[in-house]
Chain A
């Protein structure tokens, strides 16, 4: 029995999207519209869709509609707050994980091993998932221990778990660094003209398409991004990271700010078609006058993460959920916002 992926990754709407990666940003729309089919339950592991996905209001509405939401995590995220069941996960220092594979110029395989026994009543996600599978009678698909997964992975490069436990990291041959790299696509090169795109009915060469939205003289294009100190929505509750960067600020060009009567450090209200946030302004020449920038991961409402609670603004509340047509990626640069003192 095979069921088509609801997000269409690898087939259907987005044939060129990677099914292993999936298109999480389409999930709220799929849950709410029940197309291509209804989704009743969701198991979330080490992810925080209630903050990481665009259009927070819509995401929270979709998560609330689920009959069953299970969250496996090391911390009380906004998604975990909404869950019917939270299955507490061991931290990375307490668990054995499937291999970490890096495919840069020199390929690397790394093993994450526990250095302490779990301090509390937690389990690694792999154990939680195989345990759930066993109870649900799905052991045929997911009934193997993490050691077996690692050993199967290692077989392809002729290593054993025991040897990797000693070395920790395995490095591939370094031939790739001498001479140009070869890619696994048929041409073996960087493709400006893509046969794969043409075969699926897309333009094989990059073509200019104007943005879907344009700001008028009173509005701004909202840009978002990550700061070096933080990782997604996972670290804002860490006191050491919060001490370095506690809240995000709205980067705005001084000339535009002056016209709006906004000075450096003023509180401003940023409004988009999907939401509104209140943050401090940071006047900077480092931003295009037609755009504003707001770093991702702030504006949190999980009370169990006191260092992050209520600090800065949630950029995801402002961003519309739009998919880019080629591979279904989240179109994060298509949101127009207005800014006023507040």
Chain B
């Protein structure tokens, strides 16, 4: 059984939001619905200034808070690593939105259910890479099987010392960042 994960190379990211929009197009989201948010920050004093970008989305955690706080079992973890939401079981209580330390979920008022990145579950089932990975113009994103030591994601995690965002929170995310 694979364990799907992603590596995002922050040394390549230019903050163009192509991932954000590709995700919106893939899932037919409204213009204001962002499953991927690209945060930016600035460090230093002129002229030694650096601007950094940080794309944040559902981390498909190994120990997902959203799943443990869900009162109905609507949020669930699949054996291949994906964290998904069963819309028919969701009562729209938003516990998961509050529980997610990465603020990855947004509320869809039209159907009364929180939504988030689904690792393009329909695409990866066909062996096609997620839309954000395909859209990235600088190839900062790599998707693959973290449990396979020969995979590209595993190689990047080891060789480029890719790290999880805020590992101290204990959620064990499956998205790793190269900084």
Tell whether A and B belong to one assembly. Answer: yes
Please report the total number of B residues contacting A with Cβ < 8 Å.
17
Cα distance A239–B24 in the bound complex, in angstroms? 12
Q: Is the CB of A228 within 8 A of B14?
A: yes
> Across the interface, which residues of B come within 8 angstroms of A253, CB to CB?
46
Contact of A243 among B16, B31, B49 (CB under 8 A): B31
Q: Is the CB of B49 within 8 A of A244?
A: no
Cα distance A284–B44 in the bound complex, in angstroms? 10
Q: Is the CB of B42 within 8 A of A286?
A: yes
Cα distance A126–B21 in the bound complex, in angstroms? 30
Contact of A240 among B16, B31, B44, B46 (CB under 8 A): B31
For residue A288, give the distance in angstroms from its CB to the closest CB of chain B: 7
For residue B51, give the distance in angstroms from its CB to the closest CB of chain A: 6
Q: Is the CB of B42 within 8 A of A244?
A: no
Residue-wise interface mask of A (243-278) relative to B, using a CB-CB cutoff of 8 A (1 in contact, 0 not): 110000000010000000000000000000000000
- The reply on B17 being an interface residue by CB < 8 A is yes
Q: Is the CB of B16 within 8 A of A229?
A: yes
> Across the interface, which residues of A come within 8 angstroms of B15, CB to CB?
228
- The reply on A289 being an interface residue by CB < 8 A is yes
**8 A-B contact pairs sorted by A residue (CB < 8 Å):** A240-B24, A240-B31, A241-B21, A242-B31, A285-B46, A287-B46, A288-B46, A289-B46
Q: Which residue in chain B gives the minimum CB-CB distance to A243?
A: B31
> Across the interface, which residues of A come within 8 angstroms of B34, CB to CB?
243
> Across the interface, which residues of A come within 8 angstroms of B46, CB to CB?
253, 285-289
Cα distance A229–B69 in the bound complex, in angstroms? 37
Cα distance A243–B34 in the bound complex, in angstroms? 9
Cα distance A286–B21 in the bound complex, in angstroms? 27
Q: Is the CB of A285 within 8 A of B42?
A: yes
> Across the interface, which residues of A come within 8 angstroms of B20, CB to CB?
244
Cα distance A115–B11 in the bound complex, in angstroms? 37
* Residues of chain B at the chain A interface (Cβ within 8 Å): 14-17, 20-21, 24, 31-32, 34, 42, 44-47, 49, 51
For residue A242, give the distance in angstroms from its CB to the closest CB of chain B: 7
For residue B55, give the distance in angstroms from its CB to the closest CB of chain A: 13
Cα distance A229–B97 in the bound complex, in angstroms? 28
Q: Is the CB of B17 within 8 A of A285?
A: no
> Across the interface, which residues of A come within 8 angstroms of B51, CB to CB?
286
Cα distance A243–B29 in the bound complex, in angstroms? 12
Cα distance A155–B49 in the bound complex, in angstroms? 51
Cα distance A239–B25 in the bound complex, in angstroms? 13
For residue B21, give the distance in angstroms from its CB to the closest CB of chain A: 6
Q: Is the CB of B31 within 8 A of A228?
A: no
A228-B15, A229-B16, A244-B17 in contact; A285/B45 too (CB < 8 A)?
yes
Q: Is the CB of A243 within 8 A of B42?
A: no
Contact of A286 among B17, B24, B31, B49 (CB under 8 A): B49
Q: Which residue in chain B gives the minimum CB-CB distance to A244?
A: B17
For residue A231, give the distance in angstroms from its CB to the closest CB of chain B: 11
Q: Is the CB of A240 within 8 A of B42?
A: no
Cα distance A229–B31 in the bound complex, in angstroms? 14
Cα distance A243–B24 in the bound complex, in angstroms? 12
> Across the interface, which residues of B come within 8 angstroms of A285, CB to CB?
42, 44-46, 49
Q: Is the CB of B16 within 8 A of A228?
A: yes
Q: Which residue in chain B gives the minimum CB-CB distance to A284?
A: B42
> Across the interface, which residues of B come within 8 angstroms of A244, CB to CB?
17, 20-21
For residue B28, give the distance in angstroms from its CB to the closest CB of chain A: 12
For residue B25, give the distance in angstroms from its CB to the closest CB of chain A: 8
Residue of A240, A253, A287 contacting most chain B CB atoms (<10 Å): A240
For residue B57, give the distance in angstroms from its CB to the closest CB of chain A: 15
Q: Which residue in chain A gives the minimum CB-CB distance to B17?
A: A244
A228-B14, A228-B15, A285-B44 in contact; A240/B21 too (CB < 8 A)?
yes
Top 10 nearest A-B pairs by Cβ distance? A228-B16, A239-B31, A243-B31, A240-B31, A285-B46, A286-B49, A285-B49, A244-B17, A243-B32, A285-B45
Cα distance A241–B42 in the bound complex, in angstroms? 22
* Supplied contacts A243-B34, A244-B17, 5 more A-B pairs, CB within 8 Å: A240-B24, A242-B31, A244-B20, A244-B21, A288-B46
Q: Which residue in chain A gives the minimum CB-CB distance to B46?
A: A285
Which residues of A from 285 to 299 have beta carbons under 8 Å from B?
285-289
Which residues of A from 211 to 244 have beta carbons under 8 Å from B?
228-229, 239-244
A243-B32, A285-B44 in contact; A229/B17 too (CB < 8 A)?
yes
For residue A198, give the distance in angstroms from its CB to the closest CB of chain B: 36
Cα distance A76–B51 in the bound complex, in angstroms? 35
Residue-wise interface mask of A (149-165) relative to B, using a CB-CB cutoff of 8 A (1 in contact, 0 not): 00000000000000000
